[in-house]
Structure 1
Amino acid sequence: MSDSNNELFEHKTKKEFNFFLAVIPLIVMVISMLYAIVVLETDPHLPLIIGTATGMIVAAFVGFKWDDLEEMMYKGIRLALPAVVIIMLVGLIIGSWIGGGVVATMIYYGLMIISPQFFLVTILVICAIVSLAIGSSWSTMATIGVAGMGIGMSMGINPAMIAGAVISGSYFGDKMSPLSDTTNLAAGLTNTDLFIHIRHMLYTTVPGLIVALTVFFFIGINVIGSATASPEDIEAMMASMNENFVISPWLLLVPALVILCIILKVKALPALVIGVLLGFICNIFVQGDAFADAASILMNGYVLESNNEMVDSLFNRGGLMDMMYTVSLTIVAMTFAGVLEYTGMLKAIMQQILKIAKGTFGIITATIVSCFATNATCSEQYISIVVPSRMYLKTFIENNLHSKNLSRSLEDGGTLTSVFIPWNTCGVFIYGTLGVAAWEYAPFAILNFTVPVIAVILAATGFGITKISDKERDAYLAKHYPEEHKTAEA
């Protein structure tokens, strides 16, 4: 955000909300959401619109003008535009990779070499390694995750379990990679050295990974063994894929090249565009489709009518239009986020939380809860890191807590919990990419809910918490809050 925009929104948000007014739009939205999803079994768009309208009414009551509120909604939407572009590209890449036979090849060979009992552990480890190398959970899920869903579902494994393993692995690598944007963001906003931040996250993230691997190992041994598809069913699926696609190990070069591009620090957007082009070329020159048919797949997705219902369900998807539900949900969610953030309602809610946070345990727990609440209200992972970092940094330092405790808490509570909110950009992306809703995969996204719990336990015990001396505290405050520090000394 430019300095002029900062000044603009500081001017517009100078009106103060009390906690009870600020929380009204959130309560209305949550009640509407529960009624829409649980009772009506409908989509979450309308509850978010109701929440936005409620927020605007409350803001108008306080004194905001319509032009200001409209601008805040647009500002919220602009924050999500990078995510919207990636979501649309993922739709294109899924369509082109299915049409080009890339997905079929990955599923075919995956069925040949991976044991169903160890599939969940295997896909978790693979996703963790890839996301650690490329620093992106979204890119990992859009490539390895899509193939993993196809392989696991072909084996007869519960899609929610597969999605949970993919998400756990993808977010482990994303959180621990020095190439990750959220990792760099959390370190930068708290004035913490990047690699000090990463090393400090080992205390919570590695135990979370061990728990996830252990749980998926026992699920594989005790549950999946008796629930997988029969060898005859798997053979029938492989035969159907052979009949409808050209299967070749050379097609595995397509995802390999995309992952290599990201490892070589090619930005996500051009790397995904390369993936779309490669899939499109494979569609025409390997699968033998006409140019017009390949272009239609990019727009409308792949359509397969085989004699195998499972194969049809795996491959009838993708394309730009397949992502429009996801795009519309993202835009609607960010209008709600824009109103809450830029009117100052979110700040009022978080200040109330800060009042009751006492001691190391209280401050760290409040940070994690605030990050989760921001994910739920502002629907964007980055905001769940940015806003709490602004709110809590000074409090951490004043309580002699090293800034790396805050940077870790931001990731534990913000980065990881974003997947549990169906209308958050991360939850929306996962639904659009893996085809599983947040409330279905939530019990199996084991790393994502285990790490915040471990973080709270460490805060209670003091283990893995780094303190600073009074001299270091005063030096930090003098450097980063010079005016306030002088006033305090006086």
Structure 2
Amino acid sequence: MKNGKQDSNSNSFLGLTPLIVFLVIFMATGIITKDFTNMPVLVAFIVVLAYSLCLNKKGEKLSIDEKVDIFSRGGGEPTIILMVIIFILAGAFYSVANAMGAVESTVNLGLSVLPTKAILPGVFMIGCVISFAMGTSMGTVTALTPIAVGMSQQTGISLPLIVATVVGGAMFGDNLSFVSDTTIAATRTQGVELRDKFKMNGLIVLPAVIVTLTILSFIPIGSATLEVGPYSVVKVLPYLSIIVCALAGLNVMAVLAVGISTGAVIGLGMGAFNFVELLGFIQRGFGWMEDLCLIAIVIGGIVELMKYYGGIGFLLEKVTSKVKTKKGAELGIAALSSLIDIATANNTIAIVSAGPLAKDITKEYDIDPRRTASLLDVFSSAFQGIVPYGGQILVAAGLAKLSPVELVPYSIYSMLMIVFGILAIVFGIPNLKRKTDNTKKVES
């Protein structure tokens, strides 16, 4: 490899096979059953872990206990554990906000300012705002899809088009929100700050947003009066608080703590729940993130085993042997994130899985870590909004009683994210001034 930093003699394709086994298990189950949700991701990774513990490095043979120690070091790596804590806090925030009525109020507030003649671009923008505030594309899809179905019935707008537009807006926030698990995963794996990743990321996807709005504005629709439910501006404050705190530069744990506290105080004050019920809602939020936390820990351990077996070095050697330039390395990072998301239908898992590999490539080719974090998030989120077996499209299609495949041709924003993501790599934009201590200044 470049600069001779990697000992090629220790690299081995065998060490890469755990990743291949996972892809085979996941894809084969989906193809055979015609439903990619039938293979739980955590179960698949546990099977891969069992396989990984059966391997041995060439010329060496470790006991199971020694391999478990290697796995534990990877799963218990400080970045992984901190990310787990942040995931749990994010779940608690969304649960409390949902319980005190913030989701419903935020949706209805957005609809109240929506011009009837601009329904499609308006729905997209509302989806962007809500998902950015909530930090969850699934929550946005769940909240907005029933409303989009009603709009379609009132105006005659194509149902697949307006539902796919909701998904597009949801993926915007999933990609950019300060409390999105993808943002947290991308920034944590690359050691960059939330604000810096947001700036880099925003400049890459802004053209996609503008073009999407332009396209949606030119699609003819009927006219009708939209029915908007009640809302309370006070109930929107938890989301506003996390946006303000994140933009002010508070670390992500402080941001989430402020959001949870704001939601709790408002919910208690308005009688949405009592103190005991509040504790239950916080616990419910923790539970929502349990699978993701366990997946992150197991992936961290498997990656550590793959490193020991020489699989990570083998992959980097092969990727970098084909890569001759920094742009080529960036395209490699984008492809890695995209392929894993296509295989797993989960952009957070794609980022967590590709993150350590991307970080090594970043160091090897002196890429701005902020840019790497953005590319990981942009491409994984873009494909997440296109694959018909992805959670967002499955939920949207289910609520609208459509086939998931019907939504894919109308996934305008997600497709444009890929286009402008590639253009950003090819033309080297945005070219923000790089911090000399960027890799040392870690958002915690």
Normalising by structure 1, report the TM-score. Answer: 0.61
Unaligned segments of structure 1, at least 5 residues:
1-9, 131-139, 189-193, 301-318, 397-402, 467-490
Deviations 1:190-213 (A, max 9, x none): xxxx89x978995x5454444444
1:30 CA drift (Å): 0.8
Question: In 2, Cα distance between the equivalents of 1:350 and 1:447?
Answer: 31
Contact 2:138 2:170 in 1 (8 A): yes
Contact 2:22 2:45 in 1 (8 A): yes
Say whether 1:59 aligns with 2:56: yes
Question: In 1, Cα distance between the equivalents of 2:23 and 2:311?
Answer: 16
Contact 1:168 1:212 in 2 (8 A): no
**CA 321–393 in structure 1, closer or farther in 2 if over 3 Å, else same:** closer
Name the counterpart of 2:40: 43
Name the counterpart of 1:249: 233
Name the counterpart of 1:135: none
**CA 335–326 in structure 1, closer or farther in 2 if over 3 Å, else same:** same
Q: Which residue of 351, 359, 363 maps to 1:381?
A: 351
Question: In 2, Cα distance between the equivalents of 1:30 and 1:144?
Answer: 24
RMSD (Å), alpha carbons: 4.9
Name the counterpart of 1:293: 277
Contact 2:75 2:300 in 1 (8 A): yes
Name the counterpart of 2:11: 17
Name the counterpart of 1:331: 297
Name the counterpart of 1:309: none
**CA 72–321 in structure 1, closer or farther in 2 if over 3 Å, else same:** same
User: What secondary structure, in the 3-state scheme, does the structure 1 residue paired with 2:250 have?
Assistant: coil
Identity of aligned residues (%): 16
Contact 2:71 2:301 in 1 (8 A): yes
Contact 1:124 1:170 in 2 (8 A): no
1:292 CA drift (Å): 2.5
Question: In 1, Cα distance between the equivalents of 2:199 and 2:104?
Answer: 37
1:47 CA drift (Å): 1.8
Counterpart residue type for residue 246 of structure 2 = I
**CA 117–168 in structure 1, closer or farther in 2 if over 3 Å, else same:** same
Say whether 1:259 aligns with 2:262: no
Contact 1:357 1:363 in 2 (8 A): yes
**CA 373–109 in structure 1, closer or farther in 2 if over 3 Å, else same:** closer
- Trace 1:70-85 onto structure 2 (pairs within 5 A): 70-78=68-76, 79-85=79-85
Counterpart residue type for residue 166 of structure 1 = A
1:264 CA drift (Å): 1.9
Q: Which residue of 19, 30, 34 maps to 2:23?
A: 30
1:14 CA drift (Å): 9.2
1:62 CA drift (Å): 5.5
**CA 62–24 in structure 1, closer or farther in 2 if over 3 Å, else same:** farther
1:283 CA drift (Å): 2.6
Contact 2:128 2:173 in 1 (8 A): yes
Deviations 1:437-469 (A, max 9, x none): 9x999887766664555565677xx75599xxx
1:95 CA drift (Å): 2.2
Name the counterpart of 2:112: 112
Range with bigger deviation, 65-74 or 364-373: 364-373
**How many corresponding residue pairs?**
384
Counterpart residue type for residue 45 of structure 1 = L
Counterpart residue type for residue 47 of structure 1 = A
Question: In 1, Cα distance between the equivalents of 2:354 and 2:25?
Answer: 22
Deviations 1:16-61 (A, max 9, x none): 2333x23422222111011333434232222222222223323356
Counterpart residue type for residue 274 of structure 2 = A
**CA 260–393 in structure 1, closer or farther in 2 if over 3 Å, else same:** closer
Contact 1:409 1:455 in 2 (8 A): no
User: What secondary structure, in the 3-state scheme, does the structure 1 residue paired with 2:273 have?
Assistant: coil
Deviations 1:335-378 (A, max 9, x none): 33332244431220221222233567755544533455677799
Range with bigger deviation, 116-125 or 346-355: 116-125
User: What secondary structure, in the 3-state scheme, does the structure 1 residue paired with 2:135 have?
Assistant: helix
- Trace 1:67-466 onto structure 2 (pairs within 5 A): 67-78=65-76, 79-114=79-114, 115=116, 116-123=119-126, 126=129, 140-142=133-135, 146=139, 150-156=143-149, 161-169=165-173, 171=175, 205-214=205-214, 217=217, 221=219, 234=227, 238=229, 247-287=231-271, 289-300=273-284, 319-358=285-324, 364-370=330-336, 372=338, 379=349, 381=351, 384=354, 387-391=357-361, 403=366, 410-411=372-373, 413-419=375-381, 450-451=416-417, 453-454=419-420, 456=422, 463-464=427-428
Q: Which has the higher contact order (CA 8 A, sep 6+)?
A: 2
1:266 CA drift (Å): 1.9
Counterpart residue type for residue 372 of structure 2 = L
Question: In 1, Cα distance between the equivalents of 2:199 and 2:306?
Answer: 31
Question: In 2, Cα distance between the equivalents of 1:200 and 1:272?
Answer: 21
Q: Which has the higher helix share?
A: 1
**CA 374–43 in structure 1, closer or farther in 2 if over 3 Å, else same:** closer
Contact 1:23 1:349 in 2 (8 A): yes
Name the counterpart of 2:440: none
Question: In 2, Cα distance between the equivalents of 1:168 and 1:61?
Answer: 45
User: What secondary structure, in the 3-state scheme, does the structure 1 residue paired with 2:39 have?
Assistant: coil
Contact 1:361 1:456 in 2 (8 A): no
Normalising by structure 2, report the TM-score. Answer: 0.66
Question: In 2, Cα distance between the equivalents of 1:127 and 1:465?
Answer: 27
Question: In 2, Cα distance between the equivalents of 1:455 and 1:104?
Answer: 33
Counterpart residue type for residue 290 of structure 1 = N
Counterpart residue type for residue 55 of structure 1 = S
1:393 CA drift (Å): 5.3
